[in-house]
A and B are shown apart, each in its own frame.
Chain A
Amino acid sequence: MKDIELDAIIEDYLQGKLTAAEASAFEELRVNDPSIDQKVLTHKVFLESLKEYGRVLSLKEQMDRAHSQLDVAALSQKLGPHPSVIVNMWRKNRSAVAVAASFLLLTIFSIYSIQHNTKQNGTYEVMRREITNIKNNQNKLVRTLNSTPRTIKGPVGAAKFGGTGFALTANGYLCTNFHVVRDADSVYVQNNKAESFKAKVVYRDQQYDIAILKIIDNSFVPLSNLPYKLKKNNIGMGENVYTLGYPKDDAVLGEGYISSKTGHGGDTTQYQVSIPINPGNSGGPLLDNYGNIIGVITAKENQVEGATFAIKSKYILEALNAIPQDSLGKKPAFAKKNPLQGLNRTKQIDKIENYVYMIKVYN
């Protein structure tokens, strides 16, 4: 069989033009002769490619005809990039511009808020406690139930404000904040055994927010020697400190550290302390690990977490010096050697507790 005839037969076979008998005869030939089989397959692939080529070509012709109906120039005019460079830049870089803008905004905001923080615009909140009637009623109930043999002294009415104070001398001089006793008609102090004593304000210093009280109650028994001493020098940042105060009717311990050597708005008469305090803590002593008094709790910043302010102990001494020596009785007898030094925290507090008072203010 010549190649040309074989080719014609293969083509007819692939296009299904052979009769059934011819087709089966040819298939037998294919099976017996691999070279013919190979030729059939090759031709099949080739024909398909050619058909495909033809199809795509005619499709392209059709599309070209469709394309010629379009007014491409007018469309490009309408849909193409805007002739203005600026509009184009905006369209292409829209997302980048958006990112840049939000970054800028963020930066402005954060700079603003940092400045905001350095100014410490947050209001300065003094920590005296307004005692509500409800609380007081509860207290009275508890005390009645206890029915201690001691008669409870002091006025029966409700105290308006509460704070904390601590003994400066054994004969009844106490230190507290000026703002605690600011509008006081009468002041009572209460120790940790719930004994109340009448006191009067003998010294006020609005500038440093310090007040000195004197217990004038007859039932007051002079204390034994003070366990702590006033530290005259400044203390370093990071020093661990603690305070005892009366944010409720029992003494509460607060612990923290000196977080800045200056107070609200850079006030050099104060420390900033990171310590949790509440209304009622005002006037409480701030002590270091060795039991030295290093300051008086006065206030906290209400928009900043953990920013409490304490007046440096130096100004307590100045206040003490302003009081005539003879009325102080004995010279404020701060121990030369600190008896608290070396004791652990619990023992220290045990001793100090008797010298920290709740200040109750009536007006």
Chain B
Amino acid sequence: MSNKLSNSVPTDREVVLGILNNSEDALNRLYVGYFPMVLQFILNNNGDEDDAKDVYQEAIIVLYNKIKGGDFELSSKLKTYIYSVCRRIWLKKLSQQSKKTNNLSDFEDVVAVEVDFEQHEEKEIQFEKMGSALVNLGEPCKTIIEDFYIHNLSMQDICEKFGYTNTDNVKTQKYKCLQRLKKLFFQS
């Protein structure tokens, strides 16, 4: 029943090393390699392609955080781990949509991922909070903050990009934006 994955699937070791080295190629191959497995699972359990994409990406983030967290021990095959995380996430989504969650059709073995899943849920909440805080912040603040903190642009770059006369103005602007964002983030 379960279709054979293509040969391009990287070994578990390659994936772990690749993620630790921020290799985009490793992530790509990992992503392409195991997506069909998850797609099959979701499609056969009342989901569509978009559900599969969301669930799969969440699972990759869980794996990514786990590897980056440093305490990563490969107690099962990566494939099994990803499948188990996806399964757990999809179960949650199904129950949120109040669909029946028993009688899932399974295609792979399952390992216990409850601890990782709970950690992920907390992070997911933080992520949502930050996302909505940034949206509420509005432009140009959002872009300034993102450029400075996420894309690591220098004050000089931002100054030029937004056409400020000098970096002090940018600093003041950034300070005001940051204060507002903090307020939004901690209030929500």
Q: Are A and B co-members of a single complex?
A: yes
Q: Judge whether A207 is part of the interface by a CB distance below 8 angstroms.
A: no
Known: A65-B28, A78-B3. 9 other contacts (CB 8 A): A4-B172, A4-B175, A46-B185, A49-B185, A50-B145, A51-B150, A53-B126, A54-B150, A59-B60
Contact of B175 with A50 in the complex, beta carbons under 8 Å: no
A7 near B178 with CB under 8 A, answer yes
When A and B form their complex, which 6 residue pairs have the shortest distance between CB atoms, in order from nearest? Answer: A54-B150, A79-B40, A66-B31, A80-B43, A53-B130, A66-B28
Closest to B49 in A: A72
Cβ-based interface call for A52 (8 A): yes
| List of B residues within 8 angstroms of A49 by Cβ | 126, 129-130, 185
Q: How far is the CB of A63 from chain B (nearest CB, A)?
A: 5
Contact B32 A8 (CB under 8 A): no
Beta-carbon contacts under 8 Å, A1-55 to B: 3-4, 7-8, 42-43, 46-47, 49-54
Q: Count residues of chain B with CB under 8 A from any CB of chain A.
A: 39
B101 interface residue, CB < 8 Å from A?
Answer: no
- Mask: chain A, 196-211; 1 = CB below 8 Å from B; 0 = not: 0000000000000000
What B residues does A76 contact at CB under 8 A? 39, 43, 49
Residues of A62-80 whose CB lies within 8 A of B? 62-63, 65-67, 69-70, 72-73, 75-76, 78-80
B136 contacts A by Cβ under 8 Å = no
B119 surroundings in chain A (CB, below 8 A): none
Residues of A within 8 A of B (CB): 3-4, 7-8, 42-43, 46-47, 49-54, 56-60, 62-63, 65-67, 69-70, 72-73, 75-76, 78-81, 91-93
Q: Is the CB of A52 within 8 A of B127?
A: yes
Using Cβ atoms and an 8 Å threshold, which residues of chain B touch A54?
Answer: 146, 149-151
List the B side residues contacting A79 at CB < 8 Å.
3, 36, 39-40, 43-44
Report the bound CA distance from A343 to B103 in whole Å.
70
B150 and A63 contacting across the interface, CB-CB below 8 Å: no
Q: Which residues of B contact A58 (CB under 8 A)?
A: 150
In the bound complex, CA of A46 to CA of B92 (Å): 28
Complex CA gap A78/B44 in Å reads 12
A75, B39: Cβ atoms closer than 8 Å = yes
Q: Please measure, in the bound complex, the distance between the C-alpha atom of A78 and the C-alpha atom of B133, giving whole angstroms.
A: 41
* In the complex, per-residue mask of B1-33: 1 if CB is within 8 Å of any chain A CB, else 0: 001000000000000000000001001100110
CA distance A69 to B24 in the complex (A): 14
CA distance A72 to B43 in the complex (A): 12
The answer to whether B150 and A7 have CB atoms under 8 Å apart is: no
B171 touches A56 (CB 8 A): no
A81 vs B39: C-alpha distance when bound (angstroms): 11
Q: Are B131 and A53 in contact (CB under 8 A)?
A: yes
Closest to A80 in B: B43
- Is the C-beta of B64 less than 8 angstroms from some C-beta in chain A? yes
Q: How far is the CB of A84 from chain B (nearest CB, A)?
A: 14
The complex places the Cα of A70 from the Cα of B40 at a distance, in Å, of 14
Contact with A along B118-146 (1 / 0, CB 8 A): 00000100110111001000000000011
| Complex contact B39–A56 (CB within 8 A) | no
22 interchain pairs (CB within 8 A)? A8-B171, A46-B185, A49-B129, A50-B145, A51-B150, A53-B130, A54-B151, A59-B60, A59-B61, A59-B64, A62-B28, A66-B28, A67-B31, A70-B32, A72-B39, A72-B53, A75-B39, A76-B49, A80-B43, A91-B44, A92-B103, A92-B105
B140-167 Cβ-contact flags toward A at 8 Å (1 or 0):
0000011001110000000000000000
B35 lies within 8 A of chain A by Cβ: yes
CA distance in complex: A4, B171 (Å): 9
Cα-based distance from A65 to B28 in the complex (angstroms)? 8
C-alpha spacing A66/B40, complex, angstroms: 18
Determine if B36 and A75 form an interchain contact, defined as CB atoms under 8 angstroms apart. yes
